Amino acid sequence: MNLLLLTGGSHPYEESTPVLQAFLEGAGHSVTLSESADELAGVLSGFDAIVLNTLRQDATENDLNDAQRSGFHNYVAGGGSLLSVHISAASCPEWSPMKQITGGGWVLGESWHPPFGWFQVYIDNPGHPIAAGVSDFWTYDECYCGLDIQPGIDVFMHGVVEGENKPLGWSHQFGNGKVANIALGHAASSQQHPQFQKLILNALDYLSDSAS
């Protein structure tokens, strides 16, 4: 697939994005890396999917502008594919369509997570294409809680915090576009986990399959 990978923001992207780009390219994908996100305001039809490993907000002076937001929205709604990683869905916090497009995610000032550390990830639906070949696993990462989850998403994995299930992976449709959201992947070490990488590559296969 020809991928547009957006990076940058107040997370350790200088460490995690090289890991993500390397294993995507190692799997045969072509990656255009962008920190400016200028591509969103241009012609996106040449990209098979947009991958978000980024946090765009005014506080870090990298929020998407109106032209970039419009291009992003129209790309996905018009039939494009989107993979959102970790906190990326918290981007553009004042722009409500972001949560609608991604299916939900972190809400700045409301969502939270236990300290970065070990926890178990549980596969809810082994039959989901993104969960294919993935069994329950332990990871050193952040287990997000209090996410803004949109109605109608298809959750395929979760973590457990204080006895409650916390969605960590889902797919859904936005307009004519397909969307996958993997809420794991805070640090480079998190993205080096074989099961994380399997989920990401499965997600791209899912997004590229018109029959799924």
Sketch the domain layout of the chain as residue ranges: 2-208
Contact, 45 vs 76, CB < 8 A? no
Residue 211 has a pLDDT of 57
Three-state SS for 117?
strand
Contact, 10 vs 108, CB < 8 A? no
**Is the whole-model pTM more than 0.85?**
yes
Predicted confidence (pLDDT) per residue in 124-143, tens digit: 999 999 999 999 999 999 99
Burial of 194 (C-beta count, 10 Å sphere; 0-12/13-18/19+): exposed
Contact, 193 vs 168, CB < 8 A? no
Buried b (16+ CB within 10 A) or exposed e, 133-153: ebeebebebbbbbebbbbeeb
Separation of CA 16 from chain center: 13
Helices assigned H by DSSP within the chain: 13-26, 66-77, 97-102, 188-191, 194-208
Residue 179 has a pLDDT of 99
The structure tokens 């294993």 sit at 23
Residue 105 has a pLDDT of 87
Residue 120 has a pLDDT of 99
Architecture (CATH level 2) of domain 2-208:
3-Layer(aba) Sandwich (3.40)
Contact, 6 vs 51, CB < 8 A? yes
Residue 16 has a pLDDT of 98
- Give the residue among 47, 27, 25, 28 at the shortest CA–CA distance from 37: 47
Angle at CA of residue 9, ends 112 and 61, nearest 5°? 110
Q: Which residues of the chain have pLDDT under 50?
A: none
Rounded Cα distance between 92 and 37, Å, is 13
